[in-house]
Structure 1
Amino acid sequence: MSARLHYIVQATCKMMALLALAASSLAAPAPQTAILQRSLAGPMKEVNEVIFCTRLRYDDPHWYANIGYYCDDENKKAYTGNGSPDASKLFKLNLRTGKLEILLDAKGGSIRDPQVHYDGHTILFSYRPAGTDYYHLYEIQADGTGLRQITSGNFDDFEATYLPDDDILFISTRCKRWVNCWMTQVGIMYRCDRRGQNIEVVSANTEHDNTPWVMPDGRVLYTRWEYVDRSQVEYHHLWVMNPDGTGATIYFGNMHPGVVMIDAKPVPGTDLVVASFSPGHGVNEHNGIATLVGPQQGPDAKTAARPLHKGKLTRDPFPFATNCVMAAMENKIVLLDGSGTIETIYTHDGPGLVHEPRPLVPRQREGRVVKRTHPQSDTGLMILADIYNSRNLPGVQRGEIKKLLVLESLPKPVNFSGGMDLTSWLGTFTLERVLGTVPVESDGSAYFEVPAGRSLFFVALDGRDLSVKRMQSFTDVMPGETLSCVGCHEQRVKTPENKYHGTLMALKRPPSRIEPFANLPDVLDFHRDIQPILDRYCTSCHNYDKREAKLILCGDIGPNWAHSYFSLFAHGLVSDGRNGLGNQPPRSIGSSASRLLKILEKYKPTPQEWRTIWMWIESGAPYAGTYAGLRNAEQQAASERAAGTVFQGCREVLQRRCATCHKPQTPPGPIPMPFNVEERRKQQLAAGRPTGIYERIVHTNDPIARLSSYILLNFTRPEKSPLLLGPLAREAGGFGSCGDVFKNTSDADYRLLLDAIKRGKTIIEASHRYGTPEFRPNRQYVREMKRFGILPADFNPDRTPINVFEIDQQYWRSLWPASQPPLAMESRP
């Protein structure tokens, strides 16, 4: 922080404290409601006063998108007020007299997430002073004095909670990453002391952690959002961990899709918690249905969740008992009696909504968990007892699994959309680093060393190195941690069998070290690593002239991806997570389910070529192997405009020459062209199995393989566009698949379409997007790499060459524990 900014903040703190001291009591009627009276004589008998905040509603619909700026435009703010003044205050309300006091008026800034210290008098909260862009942690006393800043820096610190040892656990964007499926920044868990010193990261999530709260036993209950090889909108559930980040495990959810479970807190005197179940993918302000959750039946029992009310959504529940839960609802503080009744105990008459009501009372410290980390270490150990102890391994015989493939889900330095963009076609949202393999013993056990502080996941491999079962979640270890698991998605309510009645075979030896794949990139890129292999073995038959099996594997680009990349998925040659549900059956994802490998083996590729294709498939089959390939809004618009030049600009020609067979209507009837991917959602029920909300569904002989705009337009060689070749007579060099609509290339309508595709090619190339000859990283990628200290402040990509693969690697390395060396080969340029 600069000296001038420090002076401004300190002066603001003093002024706010004086204003709070001078604040007069605000008129409010003394509450006399029945449930409140009963509660004040019962579960709330120690409570006289509560604190709460007011804030304006932020604009973004997502529960998390209320900090920082949007990636595409750093001047567009996501926080409350969206760059305009907020109407935020921190209040204290006496529930017995109705007296209301302002403890802090943010004067256009924002206040959020207050929590009361164990002493019942000190209040911890997150505060963004007016005219500034970042939330930081502050403390203030219950009488409005002693305003004190704790954290600082060009990051957001929020959703803080006191720990029993008086440290503070909080969510922060210090992790330097962006939401994998949105345009705002990620916050994960950190801890520090009450001076804001000794800041440590205690999470390795590439996505959001939210609303940590300490359980009676000292563990931390929190919301974890993650979607490794599965749907991005369905898995944001409750987890627990130790305050040092060790021992992270599911508390409730994660197996069943749907609902954001957030703002969870333990119910005093019980083993229950109450949480806000925000519907679907969650709504903003953490609004949801306050729900009681019990762990007795295990984390997967849907019957263990009991809603406390219906109808209107509440937020920020705070339990005193199962029949006494305080919450916020729009501009009110309400009490829930556990039987469905919602009673208003305070209505705010001023601007803004009510948030985070908390009792102002002393409380006992929770149990203290002994620290299990060793900061000097940069690795940890993992013990797997029995990989065959699983709820979803039908047909897999004991002894089949020989290895674990260790991969890492890699954080994003930028993101510009709600989808995967050029990382994949409705598959993985993140690049996945291949670290290597470790052995699995004949009893199903494994014991191995892994890098600390990184988001890791595993694939079980058979004796041919083909995938048997994919984890579809992630785990991590903190420095020096030893983490053990019983099995692979094992039942949490059953006692595991020890079939060998003794020490695990893997524990009879030192821990295995991950064995990397030598002389191969650890992060794969389609154009750099895969297309050359396809060119050597495939394109002589699968090109625009021969098109055997109606399959094109040339690397020419369409509106989004290379034709070859799109075709591999549209023809069912590669099987990835497809943005579906979790815990998929064995051999349904990855190398064992991908026909491409089996076909390639017939042509006897070199071991390195086979392994390259195998690694690409097992690492999520990405397209752009660099996050510099993610398109900003301008580049996305250019791709849409390029396609629109043809399908909108030439609508009359397409209607006149093609609509007899390709009317824009849904089946039954002629197949529309270009095929509408959105219509695929209507066919999910026909899949014969549960599907993800946005799952990529490709049927046998799917028309999408022939009639999607992704394959119809060729922006590398416009004359090779299937949109032109399909209706062009074979004698003239076309496919002739539509009859002789165009007898030759002199047809006026053919020429008009060709010219439109050429104009689209010019638009695409002018955007400098990934896949074009003039590809350059966009300004947002460069901006963030400068902000993260990876690129120098004066770097100019228009004048200086840049190896984006190496820049990505430097960025990821900067997030590792300081002394951690790479465990696998880095991507070659």
Structure 2
Amino acid sequence: MGRIIPTHRTQQKRNHSAFKLFCLFSLLSVQSYANEVDAQFKALEFDLTRTAHFEKVADETFHPAALVTKADGDPLDIILRRTKSLLDDISKMPDAPDMIGCANKLQSLNKQAKTSNDRKALFAEVHALRRDIAFANPLLNFEKILFIKRHRSNFSHMCDQYYGAHARPGGGVFVLSNPFGDNPQAKNILPEGALKGGSFLSPELSFDGKQVMFAYVDGTGDPKHIVHLEHERGHWDEGCCYHLFSATLDSKGNGSNLKQLTDGTFNDFDPCYLPNGRVAFISERRGGYLRCGRDCPSYTVHDMKPDGSDIRILSPHENNEWQPSVLHDGMLAYTRWDYVDRHGCVAHHPWIMTPDGRDSRAVHGNFSVKAERADMEMDLRAVPGSHKIVGTAAPHHGQAYGSIVMIDPRTPDDDAMAPVKRVTPEVAFPESQKGKQVYGTPWPLSNKYHLVAYDAKMQKKNGRQGDKSNPRGEYGIYLLDAFGNKVLIYRDHEIACLSPMPLRARPKPPVLPEKSDRLEDNPKMEGTMAVMNVYDSLLPWPEATGIKALRIYQIYPSSVPSGPRPHETGRRIAEASDSVNLTRGIIGTVPVEEDGSAYFKLPALKEVYFQALDENGLAVQSMRSSTWVQPGELLVCMGCHEPKNRAPLQSKKTALALQRAPSVPVPDVDGTKPFSYPRLVQPVLDQHCVACHAEKAGEGAPPLDRQIVQSKLGKGTTDVFRSYDSLIHDHAFWSYGDHYRTIPGEFGARASKLYPMLKNGHHNIKLSPEEMHRITVWLDSMSNFYGVYEKEGGIAQLRGEIVQPTLE
């Protein structure tokens, strides 16, 4: 027998005290409702065994009602107080319905709880009442929910889960009608017979609510087939790639006018309607691969016209990015894997840029300590009526599920949890804190209420093992609140229900003016950058430090996959650490004025980072992140990773660098673009060191010649000169010893053994200024051997030839 649940319109006219408690069965069937009650009861029983965890995260929790304390005796105690918090909050809302009946009933149940012997049965009654209260929320002023059905990916990794080759077939794009009533109905919006047999991903609704865009892969072709070194043509069989589609929705939620927008052998997914009329999305079209482990193409933020034409790159980042969404101020938020000269598992957090790809900056967490934070923050969405952002705290080695968090970009970043609050504190962060992949794809209705995907069974499983034991994932659509309540709206036990969003129009954020020349027919492929004061720094500079120049590096994407291949020679720059497996080249140096300002030109759409150099040309500070300029862009930075939440240091005068034309970077010595140890360093050793070390080999002098040997540094080996193998282990610099930040003055040549040895006159060797510079710049640049990734290019560099990267 079904319980009558009033719609939002009728709730205001009806007295909740008239509801009959025997009508408990609201979710499709008696058995499914009983299973839901039992699952929530058991989840709270489990939480009661973890009060120490809740005490630990109490200060990090968005609302204290979501905690479980020692004062909670059993699940009934918890649901009673959380329901009271929910009732009180809704009662205070504008346009709230008459909640007196619910309040009276809740009071009665509280009295019964003091004497009841069947507390689980009473829990079921409170559970039913809580659903009535939750669905009386004035925020639920919509009649349909758009969502997708989808099986979890075959591959549990933050990157691989989005390759069509790993998709499990099944699902569709659905509209849920009567979502807060007795009998919600899910209907596939696609025309009958369309897009059958494949998998769906990342739906997005236009601002007027009349268009839906999503990604689909049909699953044909060879999923193991991947093409290398042909980036302009893609990597996969076309049938193994996600492509973008659009459809028109009518007032009843029926779809029509289905169109395929992208094609080819690239994965395209995560579409996002932009206020300027274009569409941002994630694509592999930039080219490049993940730098650890296997055949794993990178994907970054692109944009296009709504019909799929005029595809352009917004982000030239060499690593992966995810899920662009528009914030209330018109900026584009997305998740970025920042993997520059540091550990690969510590920086996958929110970034923002303009919708035309300018001024990309980290929101927070880019240097956070792994154990204190989530590995990743994904599914970023702006909270209505707030500057805050909701997201999913997800794992690196796993899929995009975990715990729900609330991010406050205005809170100063402490490299820990200051800008982040846990909305679901019962779920620790996956991987970094050994939590489970329980929640996902949140859609905020306010700071306190969200539509989410939730799988109660996953909470009892280890996240990665859970993928094997529960491959489908039983994620249902829930209404989650800040008080710890989660109320089931709809579930399909055969397949996960994900990405719920109200099917209605929503406010369009402001259109930010286009200031990039990229939309011109023949854009000039350069921009400019201004640094106001390099001394305005988050970390203190060494005493009496004077910065005279900036060294500009370009990062080259990995042009070959990093998985096992039949060759090793020259395939990487010594597979050693997360610092030395990144190829780079020096674009040049530019002057820094006495007031710490710099103003210079940059090539457009090239990923770059900077080092601050002292009067001796030694690097004092180095970025472990990156940036770029769009064509025609003027990018302005206040300082060297200055505090983001503090006003910039004020000066009464215009920065000296801005009183002149922008500097043109002065190229560095041969062997620095791209890096080539045989051309940069070995000539100095040949001139001053090889013969002497050969003579004194019996006295323990290490060989410094060009003989090719296999060097082992870290996990892998690669062919290098014997001199490199002699120097790299003890005398060079290739590991910061800190996964997170660079300490000014404590890296590179300054932190190496080789530089002071030569500076102090090792065996009376006198290097020319250029020769000393060659050694210095090598040490400051992670002591790379190779500057290219391909086998053939590496062999050519061993021969001393100039080789250019295939991807820049």
Partner of 2:167: 80
> 1:239 and 1:37, CA in 2 relative to 1: closer, same or farther beyond 3 A?
farther
Question: In the TM superposition, what is the alpha-carbon distance from 1:307 to its structure 2 partner?
Answer: 1.0
Question: In the TM superposition, what is the alpha-carbon distance from 1:770 to its structure 2 partner?
Answer: 5.4
Pairing 1:437-448 to 2, within 5 Å after superposition: 437-448=589-600
Pairing 1:169-568 to 2, within 5 Å after superposition: 169-182=280-293, 183-258=295-370, 259-279=375-395, 281-284=396-399, 286-300=400-414, 302-309=417-424, 310-311=426-427, 312=436, 313-329=438-454, 330-331=473-474, 332-350=476-494, 352-375=495-518, 376-397=523-544, 400-417=546-563, 422-426=573-577, 427-498=579-650, 500-517=651-668, 519-542=670-693, 546=697, 548=699, 551-554=702-705, 555-558=707-710, 560-561=717-718, 562=720, 563-568=722-727
Alpha-carbon distance between aligned partners in 1 of 2:548 and 2:793, rounded to the nearest angstrom: 42
> 1:521 and 1:599, CA in 2 relative to 1: closer, same or farther beyond 3 A?
same
Partner of 2:805: 809
Alpha-carbon distance between aligned partners in 2 of 1:59 and 1:229, rounded to the nearest angstrom: 30
Alpha-carbon distance between aligned partners in 1 of 2:141 and 2:506, rounded to the nearest angstrom: 10
- Give me the identity figure in percent: 28
Partner of 1:628: 790
Task: Structure 2: give runs of 5+ residues left out of the alignment.
Answer: 1-26, 34-126, 221-238, 428-435, 455-472, 712-716
> 1:318 and 1:37, CA in 2 relative to 1: closer, same or farther beyond 3 A?
farther
Work out the number of aligned pairs and report it: 602
Give, as a single letter, the amino acid of the residue that structure 2 aligns with 1:185. P
What does the per-residue CA deviation read over 1:140-189, in whole Å, with 9 as the maximum and x for residues that have no partner?
Answer: 23313221111222211111110112210001111011112243111111
Alpha-carbon distance between aligned partners in 1 of 2:218 and 2:203, rounded to the nearest angstrom: 15
Partner of 1:747: none
Question: In the TM superposition, what is the alpha-carbon distance from 1:126 to its structure 2 partner?
Answer: 0.8
Farther off after superposition, 103-112 or 235-244: 103-112
Partner of 1:569: 728
Alpha-carbon distance between aligned partners in 2 of 1:579 and 1:54, rounded to the nearest angstrom: 45
Would you say 1:92 and 2:92 are equivalent positions?
A: no
Partner of 2:208: 119
Question: In the TM superposition, what is the alpha-carbon distance from 1:549 to its structure 2 partner?
Answer: 5.1
Give, as a single letter, the amino acid of the residue that structure 2 aligns with 1:305. V
- Aligned 8 A contact 2:589 2:665 in 1: yes
Question: In the TM superposition, what is the alpha-carbon distance from 1:545 to its structure 2 partner?
Answer: 7.1
Question: In the TM superposition, what is the alpha-carbon distance from 1:393 to its structure 2 partner?
Answer: 2.4
Question: In the TM superposition, what is the alpha-carbon distance from 1:460 to its structure 2 partner?
Answer: 0.4
Alpha-carbon distance between aligned partners in 2 of 1:353 and 1:501, rounded to the nearest angstrom: 59
> 1:292 and 1:466, CA in 2 relative to 1: closer, same or farther beyond 3 A?
same
Would you say 1:101 and 2:213 are equivalent positions?
A: no
Q: What RMSD in Å do the two structures reach over aligned CA positions?
A: 2.9
Secondary structure (helix, strand or coil) at the match of 2:289 reads coil
Give, as a single letter, the amino acid of the residue that structure 2 aligns with 1:167. R
> 1:488 and 1:36, CA in 2 relative to 1: closer, same or farther beyond 3 A?
farther
Alpha-carbon distance between aligned partners in 2 of 1:769 and 1:193, rounded to the nearest angstrom: 38
Alpha-carbon distance between aligned partners in 1 of 2:28 and 2:548, rounded to the nearest angstrom: 70
- The one of 590, 593, 596 aligned to 2:754: 596
> 1:39 and 1:248, CA in 2 relative to 1: closer, same or farther beyond 3 A?
farther
- The one of 619, 634, 639 aligned to 2:781: 619
What does the per-residue CA deviation read over 1:161-218, in whole Å, with 9 as the maximum and x for residues that have no partner?
Answer: 1011221000111101111224311111111111112222111211111111101111
> 1:579 and 1:333, CA in 2 relative to 1: closer, same or farther beyond 3 A?
farther
Question: In the TM superposition, what is the alpha-carbon distance from 1:488 to its structure 2 partner?
Answer: 0.8
Pairing 1:705-716 to 2, within 5 Å after superposition: none
Question: In the TM superposition, what is the alpha-carbon distance from 1:547 to its structure 2 partner?
Answer: 5.6
Partner of 2:52: none
- The one of 154, 158, 169 aligned to 1:59: 154
Partner of 1:683: none
- Aligned 8 A contact 1:542 1:548 in 2: no
Give, as a single letter, the amino acid of the residue that structure 2 aligns with 1:625. G
Question: In the TM superposition, what is the alpha-carbon distance from 1:487 to its structure 2 partner?
Answer: 1.0
Alpha-carbon distance between aligned partners in 1 of 2:751 and 2:255, rounded to the nearest angstrom: 63
Alpha-carbon distance between aligned partners in 2 of 1:34 and 1:597, rounded to the nearest angstrom: 73
Alpha-carbon distance between aligned partners in 2 of 1:357 and 1:804, rounded to the nearest angstrom: 56
- Aligned 8 A contact 1:43 1:321 in 2: no
Alpha-carbon distance between aligned partners in 1 of 2:358 and 2:737, rounded to the nearest angstrom: 29
Partner of 1:652: none
Task: Structure 1: give runs of 5+ residues left out of the alignment.
Answer: 1-26, 69-76, 630-767, 776-802, 813-829
> 1:586 and 1:113, CA in 2 relative to 1: closer, same or farther beyond 3 A?
same
Partner of 2:136: 41
Question: In the TM superposition, what is the alpha-carbon distance from 1:236 to its structure 2 partner?
Answer: 1.0
What does the per-residue CA deviation read over 1:689-739, in whole Å, with 9 as the maximum and x for residues that have no partner?
Answer: xxxxxxxxxxxxxxxxxxxxxxxxxxxxxxxxxxxxxxxxxxxxxxxxxxx
Alpha-carbon distance between aligned partners in 2 of 1:263 and 1:129, rounded to the nearest angstrom: 24
Partner of 1:791: none
Partner of 1:136: 243
Give, as a single letter, the amino acid of the residue that structure 2 aligns with 1:357. P
Secondary structure (helix, strand or coil) at the match of 1:809 reads coil
Give, as a single letter, the amino acid of the residue that structure 2 aligns with 1:54. K
Secondary structure (helix, strand or coil) at the match of 1:591 reads helix
> 1:253 and 1:167, CA in 2 relative to 1: closer, same or farther beyond 3 A?
same
> 1:600 and 1:502, CA in 2 relative to 1: closer, same or farther beyond 3 A?
same
Give, as a single letter, the amino acid of the residue that structure 2 aligns with 1:404. L
- Aligned 8 A contact 1:235 1:260 in 2: yes
> 1:42 and 1:303, CA in 2 relative to 1: closer, same or farther beyond 3 A?
same
Secondary structure (helix, strand or coil) at the match of 1:534 reads helix
Partner of 1:798: none
Alpha-carbon distance between aligned partners in 1 of 2:644 and 2:311, rounded to the nearest angstrom: 34
Alpha-carbon distance between aligned partners in 2 of 1:772 and 1:196, rounded to the nearest angstrom: 41
Farther off after superposition, 50-59 or 365-374: 50-59
Alpha-carbon distance between aligned partners in 2 of 1:526 and 1:446, rounded to the nearest angstrom: 30
Give, as a single letter, the amino acid of the residue that structure 1 aligns with 2:301. M
Question: In the TM superposition, what is the alpha-carbon distance from 1:478 to its structure 2 partner?
Answer: 0.9
TM-score when scaled to structure 2?
0.70
Question: In the TM superposition, what is the alpha-carbon distance from 1:467 to its structure 2 partner?
Answer: 0.9
- Aligned 8 A contact 2:442 2:452 in 1: yes
Secondary structure (helix, strand or coil) at the match of 2:554 reads strand
Give, as a single letter, the amino acid of the residue that structure 1 aligns with 2:422. P
Question: In the TM superposition, what is the alpha-carbon distance from 1:273 to its structure 2 partner?
Answer: 0.9
TM-score when scaled to structure 1?
0.68
Give, as a single letter, the amino acid of the residue that structure 2 aligns with 1:342. K
Question: In the TM superposition, what is the alpha-carbon distance from 1:40 to its structure 2 partner?
Answer: 4.0
> 1:294 and 1:37, CA in 2 relative to 1: closer, same or farther beyond 3 A?
farther
Alpha-carbon distance between aligned partners in 2 of 1:108 and 1:805, rounded to the nearest angstrom: 50
What does the per-residue CA deviation read over 1:3-57, in whole Å, with 9 as the maximum and x for residues that have no partner?
Answer: xxxxxxxxxxxxxxxxxxxxxxxx9469996565445432542222212222232
Secondary structure (helix, strand or coil) at the match of 1:118 reads coil
Give, as a single letter, the amino acid of the residue that structure 2 aligns with 1:473. S
- Aligned 8 A contact 1:260 1:282 in 2: no
Give, as a single letter, the amino acid of the residue that structure 1 aligns with 2:483. S
Alpha-carbon distance between aligned partners in 2 of 1:166 and 1:242, rounded to the nearest angstrom: 14
> 1:342 and 1:540, CA in 2 relative to 1: closer, same or farther beyond 3 A?
farther
